[in-house]
Amino acid sequence: MALGQVPLSAPVATAAPPSTAPAPGDPDELFRAWQGSVDEAVGRRTPRSARRPAGGPVVGGPVAGGPVVGEPAAGGTGRRRGWQVAKIGVPVAVIVTVGAGALMMLTGRANEMLAERASSGASASGGAVPSGAAAAVTGMTLAGYQGEHGAVGVASLWSAGGTTMAVGYADSHPAVWRHATDGSWSLVGAAALGGLTGHLTSVSEGPSGWIAVGSMNQNGTVEPVVFSSPDGVTWTPRPALTNLAGSGAQFLGVAAGPGGYLVVGKQGTGKQAYASLWWSADLKNWTNGGSSGYTDSFAAAAVAVGDGFVAAGSQADCHTVWTSTDGQHWTVHDITRPSGAQTATLRSIAASQAGRFVAAGYATDNGGALPIVVTSADGGAHITQVVLGTPRGDQGTVTAVTATSHGFTAVGVAGPASAQHPVEWTSADGVTWSAPAQVTAAGAAQITALTDTGTMVTGTAQGTTPSVLTIGQ
């Protein structure tokens, strides 16, 4: 692809790429996996809404008179913001050093799909496991709703101000767990969440409090859902964004920072879906930051960088990042796939306090999956792509990445297709990465999310029950 930049108000091709089977981590497959687990639990098949806004993806600058939707809000179309697009060709690097990290692992079909859409960790504010150190691993079990005995899974972690939150599902209900200062974990938000059927996909914290996003089953239709909390304990639905986005939206990731809040995902289903991003300064009033000019696209994760944001995902079978200084005006960077790869996608992203972001995912070629990361220290103006190493050159994929005070830790799976195992990579600068180190933990199956708490990297592992792991010095 040629390097260039043009306003998105110019004509952009919207034809879908050739049809392919859903790759691991495709949001539709995640959605179907969760919906299947819900159907099995409640004993019925519920249809999924496929409604998308009239006219398909909107590409261009603001529409005169477009409303800003607030709380409480009526449905409608938000103000469209200006977009730019850049086609990026990047060098491919190879990894060279060694380090340590932490993990979150999920098992079972629905959990495997949730694992493919993991959220990133927070920027580091304290110490981390030094390269080559032997890590101490401890575990604490996460409980489901009292009196119920269904599956429990965690999809996302985030740490801020000494508090760590985990979100996912328990007994077919959306679930939030909170880590208290005394070291215990508790299931919170039961009054708001325990009566719903659904799951949460991402969580973050910003100037107006915590935000969690996901999906719920509402009167037989799967719809997006947003909750907020001032303290991580009491959670309240936020209907303004769901009214703006419509029931055809899927909220896959969320980010928060000094510049406000960003929710990313897609609208529509299957190959007709297109990436969408929504922004708010205060969790009350939301605008539609823009929609991709391509169908078969989605934004899977996001992170705050300074006063702006970076989102990551895929469009037109290319791994893609979207950058913005304000959450409302965006530049799209379609990154050249590694040599021989047919598709590529990014599904996790993290940023350091210095402003460097690292987005991670995988590319697919005739041999299977390749673990990849892309990184930039200047808001996407210059992007470096790295194909990470795997044992014996086996298949692999990166499922989560987090920033630490020592750099970045990425985790995923690698090995032959029939015998993959959790691995980790580390980097001091986001460009040069370690050789893969196998993660050894009882029942370890897949790595899905990381967060740095300031003194250690935290994740969750699931065997018979999900457990939070801390890996420290």
Is the Cβ–Cβ distance between 444 and 452 less than 8 Å?
no
Read off the tokens for 40. 């099995």
pLDDT number for residue 104: 30
Q: What percent of the chain has pLDDT over 90?
A: 43
Q: Which of 16-20, 195-199, 468-472 has the lowest mean pLDDT?
A: 16-20
Burial 31-63 (b: 16+ CB within 10 A, else e): bbbbbebbeeeeeeeeebbeebbeeebbbbeee
The amino acid present at 145, given as its one-letter code, is: Y
Spatial separation of the C-alpha atoms in residues 192 and 194, rounded to whole Å: 6
Could you read off the pLDDT of 6-53 as tens digits, one per residue? 222 222 222 222 222 334 445 555 455 545 544 444 343 333 333 333
The per-residue pLDDT for 469 is 58
Q: What is the Cα–Cα distance from 124 to 453, expressed in whole angstroms?
A: 7
Residue with tokens 């009214």: 243
Tokens of 204: 């973050």
Which pLDDT belongs to residue 139? 57
Higher pLDDT pick, 425 / 28:
425
More confident position, 284 or 47: 284
**Could you report the per-residue pLDDT of 54-113, keeping only the tens digit for each?**
323 322 222 222 334 444 333 333 333 334 444 344 433 322 222 222 223 222 223 333
pTM for the whole structure: 0.76
342-394 per-position pLDDT tens digit:
999 999 999 999 999 999 999 999 889 999 999 999 999 999 999 999 988 88
Question: Residue 279 pLDDT > 90, yes or no?
Answer: yes
Residue 268 has pLDDT above 70, yes or no: yes
- Least confident span in 129-143, 159-173, 258-272, 396-410: 129-143
184-193, 309-318, 438-447: range with highest mean pLDDT: 309-318
Yes or no: say if 80 and 61 are a contact pair by the CB < 8 Å rule: yes
- Report yes or no: 237 and 69 within 8 Å, Cβ to Cβ: no
What is the rounded distance in angstroms from the CA atom of residue 225 to the CA atom of residue 214? 5
Question: CA-to-CA distance for 199 and 121, rounded, in angstroms?
Answer: 19
Look at residue 332 in the predicted model and tell me its pLDDT.
93
Q: What is the dihedral of CA 180, 186, 191, 196, to 10 degrees?
A: 130
Q: Select the more confidently predicted residue: 179 or 256.
A: 256
pLDDT of the residue at 470: 55
Asked whether 470 and 184 are in contact (CB, 8 A), the reply is no
So what CATH class is 85-472?
Answer: mainly beta
Domain map (residue ranges) of the chain = 85-472
DSSP state letter for 275: E
pLDDT at 395 > cutoff 60: yes
Lowest mean pLDDT among 24-28, 278-282, 314-318: 24-28
Examine the pLDDT at 438 and tell me if it is beyond 90.
Answer: no
